[in-house]
Structure 1
Amino acid sequence: MFELLYKNISRYIDLSEEEFRKFTVPFQLKSFGKKETVLKEGDYCLFEGFVLSGCFKVYYLNENGFEQTLYFAVEGWWITDIDSLINHVPSILNIEALYDSEVLMISKKDKENLYGTMPQIEKLFRIMNQQSSVALQRRVLSLTGKTADKRYLEFLQKYPGLEQKLTQQQVASYLGITHEFLSKIRKKMSLR
């Protein structure tokens, strides 16, 4: 159950078997069915989750009531609302399982306890937060500075094979366009 988590964190820090076992003690395995909500707008986020299997969409509703997908969390990704978790404010995000999924969850309190007993865990999450900041910056730059065609190609590279598992509406929401416009992009690209 913890092999994927070990592989993920080993990219950033080295832990002995005993240290890794100690690290995993507070994690709880949670299963979510298709369309099940992990976090709802207005609730407080009290966890970080590591996706073992399945896929989640992390989204918010814009002022017109339309979904805007920030990212899809697939196997090996983390899910949370970092603003709600860190600042203890109501979440503006929703996290929903797109199909049956499993997640290893850790509470903020348990994570902070690990910081006190295992300093390398604080380093791990610092590095992961830096990586998340880079990804967020790239996402914002893509949304504000690239054409929908280029964003679509980036989506295909970032999430290989995921397009076949998503609806056209979900892909369009991620790209910040209508599903009709996505159809035009796909048609144009198929003619090349």
Structure 2
Amino acid sequence: MHPLFHYIIKHVSTLISKEEFRVLRSHFIQKKIRKKQYLLQEGEICKYFAFIVKGAMRQYYIDEKGFERIVNLYTENGWAGDHESFVMFTPSIYHIDAWEDCEVLLITRESLLKLCRECPAFNEFLLKLDERNNIAAQKRITSISFTAEKRYKCFVRDYPRLVNRFPQHIIASYLGITKDTLSRVRKKALKK
């Protein structure tokens, strides 16, 4: 069984029947995305959401000074895409690219909606995923007022799998601090 389906079954209370499994599988497109290749670029409409089977991706925008500002970091068993663009069919302000070589399963908005109607277990899975994403977004907004040290501590606690997958400058941008500040915070944390 494919990792996506293990992941979905793990996160829903109902078991997926053989028929639901067949329906579920039929809505996804397998694709490999090479390191530095884009899933989405600014100005495009997000036509696919990607379930990451293998690899790591980042979502970012370019600010008015030309600096990359990291919005999200994704690894295995994560979903990558611009939710607003995907739902509203508007041009994205984000870039999403592969930080490592990736294997993904893609789904279109049309297939997603159809799958939700055909497979109650998948619909339940999406509701739980939305709940988790909303909680994570609230935590991220709240963390803006935290010190750099507390932001990093929360990041390590909440996303330990990301700490060694991305370099310091990417993590620093995600946290909204400079690379030098992150370096000082990490050294201080190691001394404790």
**TM-score of the superposed pair, with normalisation by structure 2:** 0.90
Secondary structure of residue in 2 paired with 1:145: coil
Secondary structure of residue in 1 paired with 2:56: strand
Secondary structure of residue in 2 paired with 1:177: coil
CA distance in 2, matches of 1:33, 1:20: 28
Letter in 2 for 1:50: F
Q: Deviations over 1:132-162 (max 9, x none)?
A: 11211111111x2211111112222233253
Letter in 2 for 1:5: L
Describe how 1:173-192 pairs up with structure 2 within 5 A: 173-192=173-192
Which stretch shifts more, 160-169 or 55-64? 160-169
Letter in 1 for 2:94: L
Q: 1:187 Cα deviation (Å)? A: 2.2
**TM-score of the superposed pair, with normalisation by structure 1:** 0.90
Match of residue 7 from structure 1? 6
Letter in 2 for 1:84: S
Match of residue 114 from structure 2? 113
CA distance in 2, matches of 1:141, 1:60: 21
Q: 1:113 Cα deviation (Å)? A: 1.9
CA distance in 2, matches of 1:190, 1:116: 50
Letter in 2 for 1:182: L
Q: 1:80 Cα deviation (Å)? A: 1.1
CA distance in 1, matches of 2:166, 2:102: 15
Describe how 1:98-177 pairs up with structure 2 within 5 A: 98-142=99-143, 144-177=144-177
Task: Name structure 1 gaps, 5 residues minimum.
Answer: none
Describe how 1:7-26 pairs up with structure 2 within 5 A: 7-10=6-9, 11-14=11-14, 15-26=16-27
Q: 1:190 Cα deviation (Å)? A: 2.7
Match of residue 49 from structure 2? 48
Match of residue 72 from structure 2? 71
CA distance in 2, matches of 1:159, 1:136: 13
Q: Deviations over 1:32-90 (max 9, x none)?
A: 11111111111000111111011111112223322221221111111110000111111
Q: How many residues align?
A: 190
Which stretch shifts more, 113-122 or 164-173? 113-122
State percent identity of aligned pairs. 35
Match of residue 94 from structure 1? 95
Q: 1:18 Cα deviation (Å)? A: 2.4
Task: Name structure 2 gaps, 5 residues minimum.
Answer: none
Letter in 2 for 1:150: K
CA distance in 1, matches of 2:31, 2:178: 33
CA distance in 2, matches of 1:121, 1:167: 34
Q: Is the contact made by 2:34 and 2:100 (CA closer than 8 Å) also made in structure 1?
A: yes
